[in-house]
Amino acid sequence: MIDKTVASCEAAVADVPDGATVMIGGFGTAGLPNELTEALIGQGAKELVIVNNNAGNGDAGLAALIAAGRVRKIICSFPRQADSHHFDRAYRTGKIELELVPQGNLAERIRAAGAGIGGFFTPTGYGTELATGKETREIDGRMKVFETPIHADYAIIKAERGDRWGNLTYRMTARKFGPVMAMAARTTVATVHEVVPLGELDPESIVTPGIFVQRVVPIERAATLGGGFRQAG
């Protein structure tokens, strides 16, 4: 019987090795798998290469992972915002490497990895420092830059509902990079707020099929004292 549910976030990331490439879903603070990221901090893996749209917010989640000195390199499109002080400090002191990728290119490079595509040409970045050292070519009268796929050892993402086979649905904009990251990683770990019986998820509503998911971790939705949700996503 296939059952991909895992009892805890700690167990789900226990085998992440030093030096692994880890994709972390979400966008800003929406859809971030903070529980899995905190478990990764406790697990102790270091020299990690992180792929995320941002470089951490405030003092929790990815920002805390950077603050703990566990990240060797980050690949992202938006590394700086008002509360990215942990990344700023690490970058200015040479403790973290940054690969800056335009947001559309980032999404497509991840998708290309999941789709088995060897790379693609895009006009985004041509004529800038982001194209330095990359192949360029004129296609249909327009200059374009060759971009390569981004593969990962692990993807940690946040979904809304799932079943024991790993089929997932998401909550509105909390979907973000989750679906493409799940396809691009060798091992995908997803938290869900509800594990439902097989067949309860409408097949037409499943966003990430279970073939792309290896571990599903049920977590409670964090509530505030006012009865709302702590996370936007």
pLDDT tens readout for residues 161-207:
999 999 999 999 889 999 999 999 999 999 999 999 999 999 999 99
Going by DSSP bridges, is the β-strand pair 185-192/168-169 parallel, antiparallel, or unpaired?
unpaired
pLDDT at 223 over 70: no
pLDDT bucket at 59, cuts 50 / 70 / 90: confident
> What mean pLDDT do residues 132-145 have?
96
pLDDT at 70 over 90: yes
Number of H helices, E strands in the chain: 6, 13
> What mean pLDDT do residues 113-140 have?
96
Token couple for 100: 């800056």
pLDDT at 15 over 90: yes
Distance CA 10, CA 121 (A): 40
Distance CA 52, CA 123 (A): 22
The closest of 13, 14, 35 to 26, measured between CA atoms, is: 35
Token couple for 25: 């879903």
Token couple for 195: 């594990």
Q: Residue type at 115? A: A
pLDDT bucket at 60, cuts 50 / 70 / 90: confident
- For the stretch 81-99, pLDDT in tens is 777 889 999 999 999 999 9
Q: In the prediction, which pLDDT does 51 show?
A: 97
Token couple for 203: 């097949």
Distance CA 108, CA 179 (A): 12
Sign of the alpha-carbon dihedral angle for 219, 223, 227, 232: negative
The full DSSP string for 118-178 is: --EEESTTTTSGGGTTS-EEEETTEEEEEE----EEEEEEE-SEE-TT--EE--GGG-TTH
pTM for this prediction:
0.91
Distance CA 203, CA 207 (A): 9
Q: In the prediction, which pLDDT does 228 show?
A: 36
